[in-house]
Amino acid sequence: MAVDQSRSVLFRFGSSATRRWLLALTLAGGTVMLPSPAMAKVPDVPSPSTSCAGGSGTSTDRQIAGQLRSSMTGQRIGSSLTAARIACARGIVRAVQQRGLGQRAAVLALTTAITESSLNNHLFAVDHDSLGLFQQRPSMGWGSPDELVDVTYATNAFLNAMIRKYPGGSWQSGEIGPICQRVQTSAHPAAYAREAPDAQLIVSALWADASTVTESGTTTAARPPVVPAASPVPTGPFQKALAAAATSLGPLDGHHALAMADWNGDKHPDLLSVSGAGVATGKTEVRIINGATNFGSLLLTTATVLGPTDERSAYAVADWNADGRPDLVVVQKSGTASGKTEVRIVDGASNFQQLLVDTATVLGPTDDRYQFSVADGNADGRLDLVAAQTTGTASKKVEVQVVDGASSFQKLVGPAVISAEPARDGLEVSAADWNADKRPDLVTVQKSGTASGKTEVRVLDGASGLTRSLAKVSTAQPATDDRHEVLLTDWNADGHPDLAVVQKTGTASGWAEVTILGG
């Protein structure tokens, strides 16, 4: 059907400087409208829109878009995440922070903007007179056309409506989708919930540095800097704080396991968070935080090839295939199809998308009495699985069994070793080469219940069959508990393992916090 051009009406909004137009094509007395933003995906780069940063986004925006793209699962953006869209998201997050509101407010705002505009800042109306990231309408009192395409104004307009409709901070609880719907009053209320996981990913990536990235893409770390040791300088292992910082990870629950390794080859240990369950993708997910920025920026967040894992699994990070990239080792202790303890190793070089090993081991089912780490226990150049039983042993000592990696974990490396460490609850155990003799030593950490009232560390010499003590230290760290994970890493590259204490919840900053004590 031909369009009667004499009946086409061109509506102009704002001053001559704005040049924003709405074209309504009327046919036989009816109006032809484009689909509602909640129904149809907005094109990736629609002509009547502009980047929120006045360009295609910064180099930092491009990096973040590349890191997140494979993990995006929503219908509006998904794998089409671009630097320009990250720039718009950054503007929203910055506006939320300037209001002094928390991450949930940013997730609500970003969920809405993703659903309404796919994070395209529309200068031209695509549905009635809707404009900008939030598709707010001048005719409905949201603001002038000039204001609604300003990211800060539009975000604050959304936040004002949210706070008005959810007084007393009631927006801080409840499902994301219905809250967005009540604020926006969309004709398609179910559309918002589908985009909430993507919004959460983006907010998590941007929150730490949203207010510090410049137009040129340079970033000033938003996290607290390295903290120098107090004077006088304490002596001995684990007495001196090499670093203390809030990370860019929000509070972490029991679904998160932590490790440290140099992910990007810059000689700085990075913090890896593994989430086995309770995530939107339904996969085991990995997030890596950059140690070189005092854990203030994100290096990677991705769903892995593994399905969900749970409390029956233990996690470690090690370079299994000697390619220079840390790999993820997942040990399922029980509930396996084989009836054995099983090991899966996921390739770090593939961003954890490929399995290197998936096998039942020689070990029968294990349980919470066992802790696992990875080390070369028999000096054959191949990493082995080290299983330490910390309670319930016949000897009443911690007993250690090494499972040979060269045999694909089908053989034991000798009988179990009875250590000099008494078996007891609350002990954390790992294997590391403390004295650089090419033999893994046993490092035990007692987090609480010590005579000193401090977190205490003991190191048993691997070359002596774990009978000789190399160190027994009351650290500078006060007693810790289940909110803390204690990790080993060589933070300052001096050849001595350092102690990283990560407090996952209950911190003053509201973020997971890391303290590094020099070994």
pLDDT at 3: 29
> How large is the average pLDDT for residues 275-292?
86
pLDDT at 158: 95
| Both tokens assigned to 78 | 């998904």
- The torsion angles phi and psi of 474, rounded to 5 degrees, stand at -90, 115
Alpha-helical segments (H) within 38-148: 59-68, 83-98, 103-117, 145-148
pLDDT at 29: 33
pLDDT (tens digit per residue) in 401-423: 999 999 999 999 999 999 999 99
pLDDT at 512: 84
Single-letter residue type at 253: D
Q: d(Cα 247, Cα 17) in Å, to the nearest integer? A: 44
pLDDT at 315: 93
pLDDT at 385: 93
Angle at 296 (CA atoms; ends 427, 373), nearest 5 degrees? 30
User: Of residues 40 and 134, which shows the higher confidence score?
Assistant: 134
Supply the pTM of this predicted model. Answer: 0.58
For the chain, give the mean pLDDT. 81
Pick the most confident of 182-191, 362-371, 503-512.
Answer: 362-371
pLDDT at 210: 54
Single-letter residue type at 466: L
Order across the sheet with 417-422: list the strands.
Answer: 370-375, 384-389, 397-403, 417-422
- The torsion angles phi and psi of 69, rounded to 5 degrees, stand at -55, -45
Q: Is the pLDDT of residue 34 over 80?
A: no
Q: Is the pLDDT of residue 14 over 50?
A: no
Strand partners, 289: 271, 298
Domains by residue range for the chain, with CATH:
59-210 (no CATH), 240-518 (2.115.10)
* Model confidence band, residue 435 (pLDDT cutoffs 50, 70, 90): confident
